[in-house]
Structure 1
Amino acid sequence: MQGQIQPQTPGAQPVYVGIDVCKDHLDIHLHPLGHGLRLANDRDGVSRLKRLLARHDVARVVLEPTASYHRLVHRSLAQAGWPVAVVNPLRARLFAEVLGSRAKTDRVDAKMLAILGATLAPQATPPAPEALEELRELVHARAAATQERTALANRLTASRVAVLKAELRRLLAGLDRHIARLAREIGRRITDDPGLARRQAILTSIPGIGATVAAVLIADMSELGQLDRHACASLAGVAPLANDSGDIRGPRHIRGGRAMPRRALYWAALSAARYNPDLAAFYKRLRDNAKKPKVALTAVMRKLIILANTLLKEDRLWTPKHA
């Protein structure tokens, strides 16, 4: 332990807790008490953390997502009734720089997260259901395997050595089987869950969105159906951001958002621009107005995610003509 926490009278003052999560340990800071400590990132460490927090009037716990290492403490604290906010690491880093903190250590990050909680009051983030977290892990594994396959295929194309080409073909064959097994498991888990199966049916009813894109949206954009049109486009990173100053109206660009859904939407937009009647006409109109191909595709991506959000909100399938 890096510090000794003195007992506090419950309700004496609100305490904001920042937790920097690593694979093996949790760095914890209590603001405004100024106390810090380090605990193991395991069930015993989380149990000790809960006993510590029970001695204080905790207003908010703030942490960053760290692969899957934050899940245990997030789920355990949320189930115990503490409000836990999971914030974007970039947002936390920019906040620290605004405060003049350029150093980056685990203890400093924990302190900045605690101060961020007190200053910005980020909204509590409920943990995702375990079934959805496992599905997300499978979807990410398939995406990683697909990227690896693309890299191997490129190496095979460039290779001129017979032995190396044979080895690469062997690796590609094994990777193809691996990807196929992951795809079957993803499909099985979605089919076995009535709620997820319904979401997949709604998403795949949209021309341009297939089972692979639908699985990415289900796993990585579980908020779809609960957002307004602007929020869902921003979350996917396809909302054009203003860049104006005085009388100057700068060009709009997309920025931020979730990378994997955005990549999936790009492939869906390529298909929708050809096979979705409404979006194909929309894409052609933009191109006829001298919009660049990627600008027009980005607009189609935005239309797709807004349409998906609307259909999930209304719990209905896509139809060519809606009443």
Structure 2
Amino acid sequence: MDKYKETFGVDISKDVFDVYGSECGHSQFKNDEQGFKLFAKTLASDSLVVMEATGYYHYRLAQFLYKNGIAVSVVNPLSVKRFIQMKLSKVKTDKSDAKAICNYGLSNEVPLYNALTDVQVECLQLFRLLDSYLKKRTATKNKLHGEEVLGIPSKYVYGSLKRDLKHLNKEVKGIEDRLLELVKQDQQPQLTLLTSIPGIGIKKASFLVVITDVFY
């Protein structure tokens, strides 16, 4: 990775992100627009920033750096984990994680990040919403079961929960349909390839396409 003046490993959490530079060491910034700008000011134009695919948290920073001309790589967390295990590192803190990611970037040819398209951004938003609705649906199902266990459930409570479950099922289906529509629009060849595998239906295939396309 000697074509870059300095490599930075970034470990991101909800509120902050820790950075470890191969030359400048550790620093920390807020995980918001102001923090992004402050971090960008510390980077030379020929720097490389490496971060793990963390679902939601890495996305905004990766997009910001990419749009500001900074080389970014978003890597699979499992690859970094294996790298850490190979190095027999037993101390796990945000600082050590950022350093491990930096060392991973120095030791491996990492792929460069490309900004997400409008379709990919919508898929990411849909996944967030789907995750929220699925959790609510599970909670509602558990409440229904709890009322049934009582043996004499309130008709009003039971009816309210059933209506809530019906609404959540409708919303989940709507999101799944929209995701499938977007995948067909943007990644039909990949979708066709996955559905040709025995045991993988079109819904599961569409999820796999989105997960691979957006998160990795």
TM more than 0.5 = yes
Structure-to-structure mapping, 1:133-144, within 5 angstroms: 133-139=121-127, 141-142=129-130
Tell me how many residue pairs correspond in the alignment: 208
Percent pairwise identity: 25
Which among 52, 61, 68 is matched to residue 56 of structure 2? 68
Q: What are the Cα deviations for residues 133-153 of structure 1, in whole angstroms up to 9, with x where unaligned?
A: 321441464366457546644
RMSD: 3.6
Which of 36, 39, 42 lines up with 2:32 in the alignment?
Answer: 42
Unaligned runs of 5+ in 1: 1-10, 224-257, 259-323
| Alignment correspondent of 2:164 | 171
* Equivalent residue for 1:186, pick from 171, 176, 179: 179
Deviation per residue, 1:267-290 (Å, 9 max, x gap): xxxxxxxxxxxxxxxxxxxxxxxx
Task: Identify the range of structure 1 (106-115 vs 204-213) with the bigger mean alpha-carbon deviation.
Answer: 204-213
- The alignment partner of 1:38 has SS state of strand
The answer as to whether partners of 1:200 and 1:211 remain within 8 angstroms in 2 is: no
What is the TM-score normalised by the length of structure 1? 0.53
Contact 2:36 2:64 in 1 (8 A): yes
Matches within 5 A, 1:247-286: none
SS in 1 for 2:73: strand
> Structure 1 residue 188: deviation in Å?
5.7
How much does 1:125 deviate? 3.1
Larger C-alpha radius of gyration, 1 or 2? 1
1:87-122, CA deviations, whole angstroms, 9 ceiling, x for partnerless residues? 222332332343343122111111111111112232
Report 1:70-149 matches (<5 A): 70-139=58-127, 141-142=129-130, 145-146=133-134, 149=137
Q: TM-score, normalised by structure 2?
A: 0.75
Give the match for residue 41 of structure 2: 51
Amino acid at match of 2:111: Q
Partner SS, residue 222 of structure 1: helix
Query: Distance in 1 between the 2:164 and 2:84 partners?
Result: 45
Whole-Å Cα distance in 1 between the matches of residues 76 and 123 of structure 2?
A: 21
Runs (5+) with no aligned partner, structure 2: none
Q: Measure, in 2, the Cα distance between the counterparts of 1:135 and 1:141.
A: 10
Comparing 123-132 with 36-45, which one deviates more in the overlay? 123-132
- Is the alpha carbon distance of 1:212 and 1:167 closer, same or farther for their aligned partners in structure 2, counting shifts above 3 Å? same
1:23 aligns to 2:14 (yes or no) = yes
